[in-house]
Amino acid sequence: MSSQDTPGVHDVLVVGCGAMGSQIAMACALAGYRATAFDLDAGAFDRAATELRRRLDRDVARGRRDEEAVTAAFERLSFTTDLDAAARRADFVIEAAAEDLEVKREVFARLDALAPAHTILTTNSSAIASSRIADATARPDRVANMHFFNPALVMRCVEVVGGPETSAATVATTTALARRLGKDPVVLRKEVPGFVANRILGAARDEAVSLLERGVASVQDIDTACRTALGYPMGPFELMDLTGIDIGYRAKLARYAETEDPADRPSRTVTELVERGELGRKTGLGFYSYADDGTQYPREDDGTPR
């Protein structure tokens, strides 16, 4: 796919340099764009660069990527704490910051004031629809959701969602950009909380937690059933631990704030885990326990949170 598929898009800015943001930025660099990753924390850059290098070197060693292409991508990727300068030269922005509506509105208002008039502003959020952010800008027709899945360098799905004021041209450019990144875009015809994949995944996750809370089966047995009977690559509890239990918790809070449906509130079990700081792999304890090398073990309390 050539740059003609995304006319006018040469520089992509990713706001947020965590695991997701850094991988999105690298995906853009691999596709031939000049990619800039912004973060307030300069310490995030060394962590991101180290992890990206580890992932891509492994891919090269396994024959999945060309070494010269990877070297060229790193040359096109830069990191900065200067949002003003990065936004002024950006043709397309992908925000991957905290799942907090007010934070996102502040970020988008600032981006709107800085970025060129043609620049499209997108959010990676699946929990917060772009229509709740667009009116913080003077360009609601150029605001949309561009939702990647973790890990962004591997997962092929990208959900593209326009709000009521998003133009067809914005949706088309965002979709074309996703394709150029080697993704398979899913374009929603209307906004709905959680979009498509996470609504389906969330239904399975919620049922798994319900079965656990009702004492029907253990964490391990529910995950085993999903892997061996349904063909899931990992069970719902393993996946929650991988992505971060707090991420799903905040997503549920955001959906509940929008719908006010009690069914959308976080479960008791998930709430208790978050309150105790047991967030999954990144803290060493979640629905499972994890050794320093990442090896997964059942919890001492049989995998059932206290």
Task: Tell me the DSSP string of 123-154.
Answer: E--SSS-THHHHTTSS-GGGEEEEEE-SSTTT
* 157-162: strand order across its sheet: 77-80, 34-38, 11-15, 92-95, 120-123, 143-148, 157-162, 184-188
Across-strand partners of 143?
121
Rounded CA separation 2/148 (Å): 21
State the number of CA atoms in the 13 A half-sphere of 255 facing the CB.
23
Rounded CA separation 222/227 (Å): 9
- What tokens appear for 221 in the block? 């047995």
Q: Which of 295, 203, 301 is nearest to 241 (CA)?
A: 295
The region, left, alpha or beta by phi > 0 then psi within -120 to 50, assigned to residue 99 is beta
Rounded CA separation 41/270 (Å): 29
Annotated catalytic residue: which of 159, 218, 238, 267? 159
Active-site residue flag, 150:
no
Is there a contact between 107 and 101 (Cβ–Cβ < 8 Å)?
Answer: no
Annotated catalytic residue: which of 99, 145, 147, 278? 147
Q: Which of 112, 123, 46 is nearest to 83 (CA)?
A: 112
Annotated catalytic residue: which of 124, 130, 131, 198? 198
Active-site residue flag, 147:
yes
Q: Which of 242, 251, 238, 252 is nearest to 298 (CA)?
A: 238
Annotated catalytic residue: which of 124, 126, 131, 267? 126
Biggest CA pair distance of the chain: 57
Active-site residue flag, 75:
no
Active-site residue flag, 118:
no
Residues catalogued as catalytic: 126, 147, 159, 198
